[in-house]
Amino acid sequence: MILAQNLVMIAYYVVSAYLTAVLIRNFVQEKKSLDEAVLILIVLIPLVLRLLRIK
Amino acid sequence: MSRITVWKIFFAAFIAFLMVASAIPFYEMRHFRVPVVAGPGVTKVIKLSHFLPNLQGTAADTDVFYLEGQEPGGKVLVMADTHSNEPEGLLAALIMIENAVVEKGTLIVIPVFNHSGSIDTKPGDGYMLYYNIPTPWGPKKFRYGNRDASPLDVWPDPDVYIHYPDRQLLSYIDIRNTNRTWPGRPNGPLMERVTYAAMELMRREKVDIAIDLHGAETMFPVTNCIVAPQKSSRLATRASIYVKAREGFDNHVETSPVGFRGLSHREIGDYSDTLPFLLEAPIPFLDQPTGPKTEKLLLDGKDPFLLSLSKKKKLFVPYDESGWPMDKRVGQHSSVMLEIIFQYSKKSPQRAILIQNVPRYAELVKNGTGYYLHDPAKADKSRLHRI
């Protein structure tokens, strides 16, 4: 049970890290819309705080 | 460099600043520890993981204080901070740890039962991260924790929490609620392991009485009361009557429902020989229709909206301009605990527990909670613990 729970937790961290990487890539590649770029940054906040195990 | 790139750099720096500024208080709160001065009665301090080794090294592992008397007798377990946003339990437990002298039997205190919850805060409700209790040597700072364990320690939540072993369907968040995960299992989710370790403590130590300290909204019907299953109800009723007669405050008895699983007052009694009691003190701060959730409201319990609701008879406790101050709530917990222990000792003299030097309701209301907390700066370092 503990192993299964830990595996799911690790999977969620991997998904969070993947989404963070994709969002950072999109932010860097965004050349037209400043609104899009700011939106990406805002979406990044909870993911980064979770990956750093702060909140 | 294009104009949009400049703006992107500016916004990235701004968001990074916001993230760091908001992260620092959360990080500091998660690592802040409250100093506790072990009083003359404390004979040893161990970790809860002593009863379940796989808790060791997790944020859920917590200190267990033993106060053993010279004479053998019964054993009582006091648990506080099961819900870390109900701090009167923690304060009543700390007063015991810092002051109590046990003459007969053993007093075991777990001041921060849900340690993971105590290092987190509730999102969305505007809770402050800390509160201070005034003492003769200055304010003593405490974390104001959350009802449930931190998602940093138990993540992700399921869609529905299936209680073990009854398989009752509970709210998803109850997987992080140490008052829904009783009696627990050794290889379950983290909070089930916490409750299982406590069950092991009670079974191995042959604990006679378990008291779980809580607080509840004034608009919630199960408040200002002792919750007890049938096996504990006689003692609970006697304690309720005696505190009313001798000390002048109400603390009625609520019966623990058989069909609602996972609660300490239900499962401890069903899965061990221990007699469980859950004490609820009214906490105006937790009610929804109040003004801002400030430290002042937490400490004095005064709120104009609750006062208005009280006049319309919408509250389950008497409420007037004096509010429901912290000292009164801590005093109630202290007196009811001592009365339950006294009544049990009277009924079972061979398993009696005699505790001295713990203030009761009137003393706590008169002197204040902080009067009974000792200055860690002046304490012997070997008696200092951080919870």
Chain A residues within an 8 Å CB radius of B8: 27, 30, 34, 37
pTM as predicted: 0.94
DSSP-derived secondary structure for B182-199: TT--TTS-HHHHHHHHHH
Q: Is the pLDDT of residue A2 over 80?
A: no
pLDDT (0 to 100) of residue B66 = 98
Q: Is the pLDDT of residue A40 over 80?
A: yes
Check B23 against A53: CB less than 8 A apart. Answer: no
pLDDT (0 to 100) of residue B122 = 86
Chain A residues within an 8 Å CB radius of B181: none
Interface pTM (ipTM) of the complex? 0.88
pLDDT band at A5 (very low <50, low <70, confident <90, very high): confident
| Average predicted confidence (pLDDT) for chain A | 91
Cβ atoms of B176 and B157 within 8 Å: the answer is yes
Check A1 against B189: CB less than 8 A apart. Answer: yes
Check A44 against B23: CB less than 8 A apart. Answer: no
Residue B144 has what DSSP assignment?
Answer: -
Chain B residues within an 8 Å CB radius of A32: 4
The helix (H) or strand (E) run that includes residue A18 is helix A2-29
pLDDT (0 to 100) of residue B264 = 97
Amino acid occupying residue B291: G
B187 touches chain A (CB under 8 A): yes
A49 touches chain B (CB under 8 A): yes
pLDDT (0 to 100) of residue B112 = 98
A41 touches chain B (CB under 8 A): yes
Maximum Cα–Cα distance across chain B? 85
The CA R_g of chain B, rounded to the nearest whole Å, is 21
Cβ atoms of B333 and B89 within 8 Å: the answer is yes
pLDDT (0 to 100) of residue B3 = 87
Per-residue pLDDT of chain B (387 residues; tens, 9 = 90+): 788 999 999 999 999 999 999 899 999 999 999 999 999 999 999 999 999 999 999 999 999 999 999 999 999 999 999 999 999 999 999 999 999 999 999 999 999 999 999 999 988 888 999 999 999 999 999 999 999 999 999 888 999 999 999 999 999 999 999 999 999 999 999 999 999 999 999 999 999 999 999 999 999 999 999 999 999 999 999 999 999 999 999 999 999 999 999 999 999 999 999 999 999 999 999 999 999 999 999 999 999 999 999 999 999 999 999 999 999 999 999 999 999 999 999 999 999 999 999 999 999 999 999 999 999 999 999 999 999
pLDDT (0 to 100) of residue A4 = 82
CA distance readout (Å), B247 to A10, B39, B365 = 54, 26, 12
Q: Is the pLDDT of residue A6 over 90?
A: no
pLDDT (0 to 100) of residue A52 = 92
Classify residue B357 as exposed, middle or buried by CB count within 10 Å of its CB (0-12, 13-18, 19+). middle
Instruction: Tell me the C-alpha distance between A47 and B15, whole Å.
Output: 13
pLDDT (0 to 100) of residue B34 = 98
Cβ atoms of B335 and B241 within 8 Å: the answer is no
Q: At what angle do helices B230-242 and B264-271 cross, to 10 degrees?
A: 130
Chain A residues within an 8 Å CB radius of B25: none
Cβ atoms of B138 and B304 within 8 Å: the answer is no
